[in-house]
Structure 1
Amino acid sequence: MGGMTLPPAAWRDRPGLARLIAALGPGTARIVGGAVRDTLLGLPTADIDLATIHAPDEVIRLLEAVQIKTVPTGIQHGTITAVSDEEVYEVTTLRRDVDTDGRHATVAFTDDWREDAARRDFTFNALYADPESGEIFDYFNGIADLEARHVRFIGNPLVRIAEDHLRILRFFRFLARFGDTPDPAGLAACTDRANDLMALSRERIANELLRLLVAPRAPEVVELMIDRGILAPVLPEIADALRLAALARAEAEAGVVPDPIRRLAALLPPDPAAAANVGARLKLSNLQRRRLESAMLPADSAPRALAYRIGVDFAVDRLLLAGESTADLDGWTPPRLPLSGGQLVAKGLTAGPDVARTLRRIEDRWIAEGFPDAARVAAIADDEVAQLLDAIRKS
């Protein structure tokens, strides 16, 4: 990483990117932020962001002249989404802050790259690369910090946090993702300003927190956050990270991909009411809330029986949180009961509640026997129907 050029990466050869750069003109745009940082770390990168000296309306004019579709997604902040050869890019005019209130910034456009870099959050997020030569522009020792796995604010941490309070959570997310040492001044500033998180929308908090929870060093970093009182203002329910550490080990041993909702469940008291409360406060989706509440309940039956009743993902959550094996669910898809109500009517039952009740009893036996084949299900059905008809006759 010592050299100042970007290593080869698949995204650098995208045809849409070449078209986009050609339209903007040589030397007027650079790749910025996560794509540069992650490529230097050898990590795959999803979003390609560009910074340009062109004003937003000029960007639109240049791109539409060559039939590249533009969407004014954040035009008041200077951001245009460009769709080039069906690839999506964000193109943002260089900016400097005029006024900030911790949630929204008022910006003025500039043609000064360093001024644009100075308003970004961490040193390794203010790296720019020439899209053609790969030359890297590093105004605040971001490469050195990346090599040292050092998460460091640009400039005065308290000022950066005052500009956008979410940077407190971002500091810890990057620390959990690939950090090694938190910058002492940054950690102190985040600790001092933890109450500022209360001013943020719960959606922004949830988005950042869920990304943090699946990062490689999440258990240690969450422990540090609890120790520093970072989460107390918005999530006072989180008291320790012991179950999260145990869950992370269990996921790794089982070869299960970390899930942010499952990991959030490990941080909360095992109580569906607490989960419902947190799910509502963080404005999680309905599916996320159901999953969080389900994860609070015990793994109260055999793995496959549980997965059949509540779904594989929900069952894996409960098993891992309970410290139980998920091996029985590897590559297993819950089967469908090979029997219908119509088949029971054909065997002599009257359509109605008896059919539903008998189907349920057959299903229970089928699950208990480990999902045997259709021949066995037919035998169970004959037995249940015979018992019911016998009981009806005797009554």
Structure 2
Amino acid sequence: MDSLTLPHAEWRHREGLDRLVEVLGDVRFVGGSVRDTLLGIPVADIDLATPLPPERVLELLKAAEIRAVPTGLAHGTITAVLTSGPVEVTTLRRDVSTDGRHATVAFTDDWCEDAARRDFTMNALYADPLSGEIFDYFGGLTDLEARHVRFIGDPLQRIAEDHLRILRFFRFLARFGDQPDAAGLDACTARAKDLMALSRERIRDELLKLLLAKDAVRVVQLMIARGIFGPVLPEIASAELLTHVAHREAEAELTPSPIRRLAALLPQDAHIADQIGARLKLSNAERKRLVAAVAKPDGPAKPLVYRLGADTALDQLIFSNREIAEIAEIRTWQAPRLPLTGGALVTRGLAKGPDVARALRTVEDRWIAEGFPDSDRVEQIADDVVAQALRAPSSEKAAPGSSGRA
């Protein structure tokens, strides 16, 4: 980087941040806020590092009447809740022991020790909140300028400390990187089986973030070629459909969806999609969407949106070879509500119960087939459907397998 001073950015003027810095005194911005500001991209979270022990941080915040939440006290993290949002304040640390999933830490006042336990050089950049002076202990500025994602120290050792760093390496490569660091890539390849020791929730979270990155397709192709998915998601064997989906998302000006992109990496089989949704502990809604995404779209676009919801309908249409114009047409389309209730059918002479439910479904089907006409037309359809139902023999009113009596 040409400058060793953190540029001014909007986030640095967040309400309450200057006072927090003043109250704590010896603090520096660290990690993503420094990295992203240097890259000229929006900053989501603000993290502060300090040599102050966490108990002292709590005392100072309490005295200043700044709300403090001990979100990770054992690891030295206190969340200061400002009117403009939370800021995490973490005491400088060094690792005492690690097992690939958890770390036992000791607090330190050595900034370099704290930097040495971070994963990548571009994440170990610190900046003075007042002067903007940047502190770089491991060549992070040079790597950031070259878009070079590089482990701090021995990559194999860093992966042994935290196996999730394998997926983080590829996520950062997809978001910030140009060419992968050769030693880091080889280490991730050699230790891919370490991912089996991680919780599926941690794998899910990293994977879904990776799939949203700007260079996700190229990096996923690299991960497949290197066998990274094999130990935990062996079903992912090709990025061909993901490439197709990403291209069509861009054509249709759709915001990329991580669930849609995950579905594109899987065999197009609902049962397999459901199994993987369960394995990754997706929410019920995400799992349902994953399964539905691999189904073939049935019928025109707007009826799909009405019956399945916008997200699932768009997933199916993006996967298919439907015209982009058809997809663009429904991108912001709001599905209407049927302007008719069962009560309106009862007033027309139908008995409450299954007759009303059947007739309402028939009206709805015709309304959809006619392109969602206005309420006047729905009233006409309802008159016709009720008249036909009242003329029908009782055996037709009670369809086989229906519950209740006509």
If the TM-score is normalised by the length of the shorter chain, which range does it land in?
A: over 0.9
Query: Are residues 1:251 and 2:249 paired?
Result: yes
1:106 corresponds to which of 99, 104, 107: 104
Q: CA deviation at 1:138?
A: 0.9
Q: Distance in 2 between matches of 1:225 and 1:338?
A: 51
2:392 counterpart SS class = helix
Alignment-mate amino acid for residue 125 of structure 1: N
1:333-366: per-residue Cα shift (whole Å, max 9, x none)? 1101111111111112222211111110110010
1:31 counterpart SS class = strand
Q: Are residues 293 and 110 of structure 1, via their aligned partners in 2, closer, same or farther at CA, if it must alter by over 3 Å?
A: same
TM-score normalised per structure 2: 0.95
Query: Are residues 1:7 and 2:4 paired?
Result: no
Counterpart in the other structure of 1:308: 306
Q: Are residues 144 and 393 of structure 1, via their aligned partners in 2, closer, same or farther at CA, if it must alter by over 3 Å?
A: closer
Counterpart in the other structure of 1:385: 386
1:174 corresponds to which of 172, 175, 180: 172
- Backbone CA RMSD of aligned residues: 1.2
Does the CA contact (< 8 Å) of 2:124 and 2:137 recur in 1?
yes
Q: CA deviation at 1:219?
A: 0.7
Alignment-mate amino acid for residue 13 of structure 1: H
Q: Distance in 2 between matches of 1:219 and 1:394?
A: 57
Query: Are residues 1:354 and 2:333 paired?
Result: no
Alignment-mate amino acid for residue 351 of structure 2: T
Query: Are residues 1:278 and 2:276 paired?
Result: yes
Does the CA contact (< 8 Å) of 1:19 and 1:84 recur in 2?
no
Counterpart in the other structure of 1:373: 374
Q: CA deviation at 1:304?
A: 0.6
Alignment-mate amino acid for residue 280 of structure 2: L
Q: CA deviation at 1:54?
A: 0.2
Alignment-mate amino acid for residue 323 of structure 1: N
1:250-300: per-residue Cα shift (whole Å, max 9, x none)? 000101000100000000011111111111111111111111111111111
Counterpart in the other structure of 1:155: 153
Does the CA contact (< 8 Å) of 1:95 and 1:110 recur in 2?
yes
Counterpart in the other structure of 1:186: 184
Q: Distance in 1 between matches of 2:73 and 2:207?
A: 27
Q: CA deviation at 1:382?
A: 1.3
Please give the residue correspondences for 1:24-63 in structure 2 after superposition, counting only pairs within 5 Å.
24-25=24-25, 28-63=26-61
Does the CA contact (< 8 Å) of 1:210 and 1:260 recur in 2?
yes
- Structure 2 alignment gaps of length 5 or more: 397-406
Q: Distance in 2 between matches of 1:60 and 1:394?
A: 76
Q: Distance in 1 between matches of 2:51 and 2:122?
A: 21
Instruction: Please identify runs of 4+ aligned residues in structure 1 that moved more than 4 A.
Output: none
Does the CA contact (< 8 Å) of 1:16 and 1:87 recur in 2?
no
Q: Distance in 1 between matches of 2:101 and 2:257?
A: 28
Counterpart in the other structure of 1:201: 199
Counterpart in the other structure of 1:18: 18
- Structure 1 alignment gaps of length 5 or more: none
Q: Distance in 1 between matches of 2:49 and 2:63?
A: 19
Does the CA contact (< 8 Å) of 2:14 and 2:84 recur in 1?
no
1:67 corresponds to which of 65, 68, 75: 65
Alignment-mate amino acid for residue 372 of structure 1: P
1:113-171: per-residue Cα shift (whole Å, max 9, x none)? 11110110000000001111111111111111111111100110001101100000000
Does the CA contact (< 8 Å) of 1:250 and 1:323 recur in 2?
no
TM-score normalised per structure 1: 0.97
Count, aligned residues? 393
Moved more, 384-393 or 280-289: 384-393
